[in-house]
Amino acid sequence: MRLDPRHLEILAAIVDAGGLTEGAAKLGKSQPSVSRSIAFLEERVGQQLFEPRRRPLRPTELCLSLAAEGRKILDAGRAASALVQTFKSGEAGTVRVAGTPIFMDGVISGVIAEFQADHPNIRIDQSYAYIDEALEKLKQDQLDLAILPVRPGALPAEFEFRQILKGCNVIACRVDHPLTQHAEMTARDVIDYAWIAPPANSPLFQDMRALLESIGQRELKIGFTGGSLSAVLNVLAGSDSLTILPYSVVVTLQRRNQVASLPIEIGDPGRHLGIIINRSRSLHQAAIRFESFVGERIKGMSRSMASD
């Protein structure tokens, strides 16, 4: 026999309230409505739920058992409402975000850590992707947002780009690197050292090539290539190698004394770090929160970089 869960809810409310009238009030319904619902349930069940001819309504044993189930239903309903609330407020949910390995590991991961402290019920699904892959995933709704260095104007109109940091690369080395002792330095000084090349399909790789061309160099000694940021840092720390890294990453790492940077001017790469979203899809609240949080943090970071 199938019972209407709403009837069980009503039963629970009445039993808990200790009376039909109060129970009805608690449910925001009229007393007759509740009375009839119970009559219905009683008929369906085929058993007395309240002792007849008793004016302070006295529940039957079966009634009490059923009310216990009704209470579970009420609780589940309340939990469901709460769930909806938190999801709608953006305090729960999953944000799918992707970006270049260097940025994600060097800058964004720290921001994510801060974000999660504030919003423990929002889950961040982070993955790595370069621009083409990221746009494809955004288009297919496999991604909520991408954080990438992008050349403004190079983006199809279906995507929106919100710049959060001006692009700027620097040459990085280990903290006690010999070059850090030099008072003055020219681009020529760096070509004698082994280099760590970013992944060949990354924008940084193109930036490195541009840098080399600007100092009239075609080839460099490449000692290591293809790794993640932490691999790069390990190699950097254990050798005299140099590499090119976004300034923002270097700033973050310098605070932890993990790298040093060389005071060599590198031309503006023409790319700027920003958040990309798919215009045709509206972000859900959790993603909106994350997006603005990242924006704020990175802007704060860039202010402190400017004041360095």
Partner DNA sequence: TAGCCTCATAACATGAAGATATATTATTCG
Partner DNA sequence: CGAATAATATATCTTCATGTTATGAGGCTA
Backbone angles phi, psi at 30, to 5 degrees: -85, 155
Instruction: List, in order, residues 6 or more apart from 25 with CB less than 8 Å away.
Output: 17
Which residue of 114, 136, 141, 158 would you call a contact of a second copy, by CB under 8 A? 141
Interface residue with a second copy, options 73, 155, 185, 237 (CB under 8 A): 73
Q: Which is nearer to DNA, 30 or 304 (CB)?
A: 30
CB-based contact 174:234 (threshold 8 Å): no
Q: Does 113 bind a second copy (CB under 8 A)?
A: no
Q: Which two tokens stand for residue 215?
A: 């100092």
Q: Which is nearer to DNA, 34 or 146 (CB)?
A: 34
Q: Which two tokens mark 222?
A: 């490449």
Percent helix, strand and coil across the chain, each rounded to 5? Answer: 50, 20, 30
User: Which CB, 151 or 284, lies closer to a second copy?
Assistant: 284
Binding partner selected for residue 128 from a second copy, DNA, none, CB under the kind-specific 5 to 8 Å limit: none
Residue with Cβ nearer a second copy (90 or 246):
90
Per DSSP, the residues of 86-143 read HHHHTSSEEEEEEE-HHHIIIIIHHHHHHHHHH-TTEEEEEEE--HHHHHHHHHTTS-
Residue 72 makes contact with a second copy by CB under 8 A: yes
33 binds, among a second copy, DNA, none (CB under 5 to 8 A by kind): DNA
Please provide the size of the chain in residues. 308
- Cβ at position 46, least distance to a second copy in Å: 6
Among candidates 131, 174, 75, 98, which has minimal Cα distance to 271?
131
Indicate which of a second copy, DNA, none lies near residue 66 (CB less than 5 to 8 Å, by partner kind).
Answer: a second copy
- What distance in Å separates the CA atoms of residue 19 and residue 15, rounded to the nearest whole number? 7
d(CA 232, CA 238): 10
Binding site for DNA (CB under 7 A): 4, 6-7, 19-22, 28-40, 50, 53-57
Terminal Cα-to-Cα distance of the chain (whole angstroms): 74
What does 76 interact with, of DNA, a second copy, none (CB < 5 to 8 A by kind)? a second copy
**Exposure on the CB side of residue 47, measured as CA atoms within 13 A:** 11
How far from 129 is each of 36, 91, 96, CA to CA, in Å?
61, 26, 12
Residue 270 structure tokens: 């023409």
| Residue 39 interacts with, from a second copy, DNA, none (CB under 5-8 Å by kind) | DNA
For the bound state, the minimum distance from the C-beta of residue 31 to DNA, rounded and expressed in Å, comes to 5
Under the binding rule (CB under 8 A), the answer on residue 9 touching a second copy is yes
* Contact positions with a second copy (CB under 8 A) in 267-306: 284
> x/- string (CB under 8 A) for a second copy, residues 28-57?
-----------------xxx---x------
Span from 66-74, 176-184, 191-199, 215-223 in contact with a second copy (CB under 8 A): 66-74
Per CB under 8 A, 230 contacts a second copy: no
Binding site for a second copy (CB under 8 A): 1-6, 8-9, 45-47, 51, 61-62, 65-66, 69-70, 72-73, 75-77, 79-81, 83-85, 87-88, 93-94, 141, 284
